[in-house]
Amino acid sequence: MQWETVIGLEIHTQLATKSKIFSGASTAYGAEPNTQACIVDLGFPGVLPVLNERAVDMALKFGVAVGAEIASRSVFARKNYFYPDLPKGYQISQFELPIVGRGSLAIDLEDGSRKVIGITRAHLEEDAGKSLHEDFHGMSGIDLNRTGTPLLEIVSEPDMRSIKEAVTYARKIHQLVVYLGICDGNMQEGSFRIDANLSIRPFGQEAFGTRTELKNINSFRFMERALNFERERQIDLIEGGGKVLQETRLYDADRDETRSMRSKEEADDYRYFPDPDLLPVEIADQRLQSVKLSMPELPDQKRRRFESAYSLSPADALMLTQSRQQADFFEKVVGNGVDAKMAASWVTVELAGALNKVGLELPQSPVTAERLGGLLRRIADNTISGKLAKQVFEAMWNGEGDADQVIEAKGLKQITDSAQIETIIDKIIADNPKQVEQFRAGKEKLLGFFVGQVMKQTQGKANPGRVNRILLGKLKG
């Protein structure tokens, strides 16, 4: 039987606020355990939460970006359960009235078509701490630094019909929240965590199959592997005459498998109720308007602009706008008055390659946008050839100054003086009578040999256009 996959995602994005959602403690990652948890985070007797309005603004930005309904009044609720890394014994979340309602996000499919994925809701909540089960000899360690870090949980409709679509959607949400500046997107540090609901059904069947929920997915690679494993597991189960149980399963990346955490029957009753310590969040029109005005250009808008304003190919525009950093970098390079296509190629190929090789991110690039622009300008004005440009780039990468300084220091300035080139060519023609004869007899590919000779004698500095023109004139003449 042919099985269709149905997937919906719940994505937890840590919002990039400086302090926590209900306290003034820092959200910075990687501090010594329990050094960034204040009495509010620790749930001491008598403490009270105070909402960080920056987290609300960030949620609003996301809502606007996905064209969602923004609730003029949303309510924080308590989700009650006991766990040692949950100090208050409840998590402050939003339940019945989330801040962001229905919205959608379009994804690009491989065949070039677009598909709109429905977003059910997005709500604000606080993160829990971490339980550390290793290194404590039969006990567990608790690190409460993460407690109270603001999360925006983005819940999609079960609109994805393949694992590829699900990964594409997750990547697009990732790109969007990073673009919006509301999440640092660091999956290794847990800033972007994915829970996936997956079910299968025979093609053509309308009713959904029984779903399982996969937790603990913290990379796109794992996501693909986890979903593949789970899809196969469900198919094997059903084809073997079994039934899928509604349950929560944990993906174990080391073993590349999913295993059961708890079934629906064991599911906790969280006893949600409105948190009496917090007032409902009221969003005035004025506030929403000012969020709308402060919205950055979104990936799709930027891509379309790059195509039209810079006459870039759709592929180049897509590549450049993958990240806001790269797009901004590109625009700075182009701002130096250089050709957009050449800039696109240098940013996405040469520079990206160099960064990738040493594992650096764009903001740490030793070659700034201004300097790369300076280099490309020297190609455009024929000061150096494209070939030598790579050598200059390397020197710049190694900190030997800007393009002009490197060209000067290494004497790489292109020879554009026709008389000088002619003298060299005359000598080469005189020294190679046999090749001249063969060329004139019709073996025109020997032109490359002569160009090579010129470049050899000029250490590659001769302007290739001129060399070609003068050579052809002399050989044919």
Partner 1 sequence: MHSKSIVELGAALRAGEFSSVELTRHFIQRIERLDGDLNTLITTTPEQALVEAESADQAVKAGRAGVLTGIPIVQKDIFCTRGVKTSCGSKMLDSFISPYDATVVERLRQAGVVCLGKTNMDEFAMGSSNETSFYGPVRNPWDRERVPGGSSGGSAAAVAARLAVAATGTDTGGSIRQPAALCGVTGLKPTYGRVSRFGMIAFASSLDQAGPMTRNAEDAALLLQAMAGFDPKDSTCANEAVPDYSSTLEDSLEGLKIGLPREYFDAGLDPAVATSVEAAIEVYKRLGARVIDISLPNSGLAVPTYYVVAPAECSSNLSRFDGVRFGYRCKEPKDLEDLYKRSRGEGFGAEVKRRIMIGAYVLSAGYYDAYYLKAQKTRHLISDDFKQAFERVDVIMGPTTPTTAFGLGEKMDDPVTMYLNDIYTIATNLAGLPGISLPVEPVKGLPVGLQIIGNYFTEAKILNAAHRFQQETEWHRLKPDLSKQS
Q: How far is the CB of 218 from partner 1 (least distance, A)?
A: 25
> With binding defined as CB under 8 A, does residue 265 bind partner 1?
no
Q: At what angle do helices 163-179 and 53-65 cross, to 10 degrees?
A: 130
Binding pattern to partner 1, positions 69-88, x when CB under 8 A? Answer: ---------x-x-x-x--xx
**Under rule CB under 8 A, which residues in 119-158 are in contact with partner 1?**
142
Other CB atoms within 10 Å distance of the CB of residue 184: 16
User: With binding defined as CB under 8 A, does residue 39 bind partner 1?
Assistant: yes
Q: Which of 302, 53, 304, 310 is nearest to 178 (CA)?
A: 302
User: Could you tell me which of 197, 195, 189 has the C-alpha nearest to residue 222?
Assistant: 195
Residue from 10, 29, 47, 141 touching partner 1 (CB under 8 A): that is 47
Which of 111, 254, 269, 285 forms a contact with partner 1 (CB under 8 A)?
269
Which residue in the set 30, 45, 363, 442 belongs to the binding site for partner 1 (CB under 8 A)?
45
The CA distance from 53 to 375, in Å, is: 45
Q: Which of 18, 221, 259, 271 binds partner 1 (CB under 8 A)?
A: 271
Strands 103-108 and 273-274: unpaired
Strand extents, DSSP E, 18-166: 73-74, 76-80, 90-94, 103-108, 114-126, 130-132, 141-143, 150-156
d(CA 144, CA 131): 9
Window contacting partner 1 (CB under 8 A); options: 45-53, 160-168, 189-197, 217-225? 45-53
The phi, psi pair for 97, rounded to 5°, reads -125, 85
CB of 278 to partner 1, least distance (A): 5
Q: Report residue 39 as tokens.
A: 């009495």
Choose between 18 and 243: whose C-beta lies nearer to partner 1.
18
Q: Which is nearer to partner 1, 49 or 185 (CB)?
A: 49
Among positions 51, 97, 298, 362, the unique one binding partner 1 when judged by CB under 8 A: 51
> Does 273 engage in binding with partner 1 (CB under 8 A)?
yes
Interaction between residue 291 and partner 1 (CB under 8 A): no
Residue/partner pairs of 457-462 with CB below 8 Å, 24 or more apart: 457/424, 457/428, 458/415, 458/424, 460/385, 460/387, 460/388, 461/384, 461/385, 461/388, 461/411, 461/412, 461/413, 461/414, 461/415, 462/414, 462/415, 462/421, 462/424
Backbone conformation region of residue 401, classed left if phi is above 0, alpha if psi is from -120 to 50, else beta: left
385 to 444, contacts with partner 1 by CB under 8 A?
none
Q: Select from 43, 101, 141, 158 the one that contacts partner 1 (CB under 8 A).
A: 43
Closest CB to partner 1 among residues 78, 231: 78
List the one residue from 89, 202, 335, 337 that touches partner 1 (CB under 8 A): 89
Q: Does 278 bind partner 1 (CB under 8 A)?
A: yes
Q: Quick check: 50 binds partner 1 (CB under 8 A)?
A: yes
Q: Kindly list the residues in this chain that would bind partner 1 in the complex (CB under 8 A).
A: 39, 42-51, 78, 80, 82, 84, 87-90, 142, 269, 271-273, 276-279
